[in-house]
């Protein structure tokens, strides 16, 4: 993709059905205390990239980015229709 080409046109010009990996932005984690989560993940070797306390922070390890969101962050708001974000756990065997 050159500088004058938009990202959408670069993607639409590719073959349909081709396994094309687009840039992965990160994984959002809903946490109750962003400061404590940052402390925990940086202890594990993650790098703090951005923080907007008390609501949000981004930490990374290699190409993996974790988007840490507190209940007051926009990523924790109700979904369209007024439903809360639901977290699912795999069934235990």
pLDDT single digits (tens) 41-75: 999 999 999 999 999 999 999 989 999 988 888 76
Q: For 74-82, what is the mean pLDDT?
A: 72
Residues pairing with 69 in the sheet: 30, 56
User: CA–CA separation, 59 vs 47, rounded Å?
Assistant: 5
The 10 Å CB-count burial string (b at 16+, else e) for 26-60 is: eebbebeebeebbeebeeeebeeeeeeeebbbbbe
Which pLDDT does position 73 carry in this prediction? 80
CATH number of the structural domain 24-73? 3.10.180.10
Model pLDDT, residue 34? 93
CA-derived radius of gyration, the chain: 17
Say whether pTM exceeds 0.95. no
pLDDT at 25 over 80: no
35's enclosing H/E stretch is helix 34-43
């Amino acid at each position: 993709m050159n500088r004058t080409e938009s990202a959408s046109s670069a993607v639409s010009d590719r073959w349909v059905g081709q396994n094309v990996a687009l840039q992965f932005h990160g994984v959002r984690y809903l946490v109750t205390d962003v400061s404590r989560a940052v402390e925990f993940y940086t202890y594990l070797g993650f790098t703090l990239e951005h923080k907007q306390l008390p609501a949000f922070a981004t930490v990374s390890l290699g190409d993996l980015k974790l988007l840490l969101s507190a209940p007051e962050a926009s990523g924790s708001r109700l979904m369209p229709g007024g439903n809360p974000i639901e977290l699912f756990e795999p069934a235990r065997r």
